[in-house]
Amino acid sequence: MKRTYPLLFIFLLTCVIAAGCLSTDSNNQYAPQEESFSFVDKMAELDADEAWDGSNGMSFDVAESVGSSGSSITRKVITSSDVSLEVKDAPEAIDSIGAIASEYDGYVSSSSVYDTYYGDSESMSGYISIRVPASEHDTVLDRIEALGKVTSKSTSGVDVTEEYIDVEARLSNLEKQELRLQEILEMATTVEEVLEVEKELGRVRGEIESLTGRLNYLNDRIDFSTITVSVSEPRNITHSWGLRDALSDSVRGFIASVNGIIVFIGVALPIVIFLTIVGTAVILVKRMVWR
């Protein structure tokens, strides 16, 4: 019985040691790890997101986008028209076209009125360029054509849907990058990290401003169509049976002859004066010698 106690003690000690080892391993396995901020890792992650977003250059196929999304995309079209009109009064027609543009919430971008000459006849001509809402383009064009006789007309439309989607997507991605950079800037701890983030922020903001300007330009060209109108008064056709031309030619011939005589006199007069002086001197010398 006395031999049993040492064996029992050894058994219990072995169990305690084994339990201690298991506890140590368990604590090492499940101990929480401290998470440390790495600025380099954050910047690398942002660069990876930028590469994934494709903000440095994106291109979308509108047809594929429509097919994949299953919804229709509103086409973005820039519309412009050129019209030539023959009117009775060119300045009045220019003023009327400007009034029509204002009536439909448009405006005049440029205009001019000038004299034109066809032989002996004189008439007025001019041009005007107006911007009107694209939804009112056809209505305004019909109003303008009613002011006179249409001698030529053309309308063109440029589809910028693909470029518009591309610019919008790039702008959205850059705005997300700006927010991420602002978050990283708050986590930066050294001057070098702050300067690096601010440099990247400046680049992103510059691209955002450039794309915003391009998007505003596209919206303006899409929302307002351009109509350019050239106006001219009809020529005055007269039949003079050649008398007017003959009289005009005779007057021009007479003036040319007078001009020729004046030129001849201007050239010959100094010579005549010089010869007269020399001849007079010679005669006086001869008379003095003969005496």
Residue 263 inside a domain? The answer is no
Residue 25 lies in a domain: no
User: Could you tell me how many residues make up the chain?
Assistant: 291
Q: Is the pLDDT assigned to residue 53 strictly greater than 70?
A: no
Domain membership flag for residue 76: no
Same domain, 111 and 147: yes
**pLDDT score recorded for residue 251:** 76
Confidence of residue 121 (pLDDT cuts 50, 70, 90): low
Q: Is residue 13 part of a domain?
A: no
Domain co-membership, 62 together with 94: no
Residue 65 lies in a domain: yes
Please indicate, yes or no, whether the overall pTM of this predicted structure exceeds 0.75.
no
At residue 60, the pLDDT reads 45
47 and 116 inside one domain = no
pLDDT value, residue 245: 65
Average pLDDT of span 239-252: 66
Based on the domain organization, do 170 and 104 belong to the same domain?
A: no
Write down which residue in 232, 248, 271 finishes a domain: 232
* Same domain as 149, residue 127: yes
User: Average pLDDT, stretch 11-15?
Assistant: 47
pLDDT level of residue 108 (50, 70, 90 thresholds): very high
**Lowest mean pLDDT across 73-77, 131-135, 155-159, 230-234:** 73-77
Closest CA to 52 of 149, 180, 150, 159: 180
What's the mean pLDDT in 189-218?
Answer: 91
* Domain end position, chosen among 205, 225, 245: 225
pLDDT at 136 over 90: yes
What local confidence, expressed as pLDDT, does residue 283 receive?
82
Backbone angles phi, psi at 171, to 5 degrees: -65, -40
What are the residues whose beta carbons fall under 8 Å from the beta carbon of 83, sequence distance 6 or more? 141, 144, 145, 150, 152, 153, 227, 228, 229, 230
- Containing structural domain, residue 180: 39-70+162-225
In this prediction, residue 240 carries a pLDDT of 52
**Residue 116 within any structural domain of the chain:** yes
pLDDT of residue 13: 41
Of the pLDDT bands very low, low, confident and very high (cuts 50, 70, 90), residue 1 is very low
Q: For residues 45 and 63, state if they share a domain.
A: yes
Which of the pair, 133 or 116, is modelled with greater confidence?
133
Q: What is the CATH number of the domain that holds 105?
A: 3.30.70
Asked whether residue 70 carries a pLDDT value surpassing 90, the answer given is: no
Asked if 190 and 88 sit in the same domain, the reply is no
Q: Are residues 219 and 155 in the same domain?
A: no
Residue 119 and residue 66 share a domain: no
pLDDT above 50 (res 141): yes
pLDDT at 265: 82
pLDDT score at 29: 42
String of b and e for 207-219 (b: at least 16 CB within 10 Å)? bbeebeeebeebe
pLDDT for 12 beyond 70? no
Note whether residue 276 is domain-resident.
no
Task: Tell me what the pLDDT averaged over the chain comes to.
Answer: 77
Residue 2 or 208, more confident: 208
| Same domain (yes/no): 128, 93 | yes
The predicted-structure confidence for 274-290, as pLDDT tens digits, reads as follows: 888 888 888 888 777 77
Q: Are 144 and 256 in contact (CB under 8 A)?
A: no
Domain assignment present for 115: yes
Looking at the structure of the chain, the number of domains it has is 2
Choosing from 172, 190, 225, the residue where a domain stops is: 225
Looking at residue 188, what is its pLDDT?
Answer: 82
Cα distances (angstroms) measured from residue 20 to each of 13, 29, 118: 11, 14, 115
Same domain, 54 and 177: yes
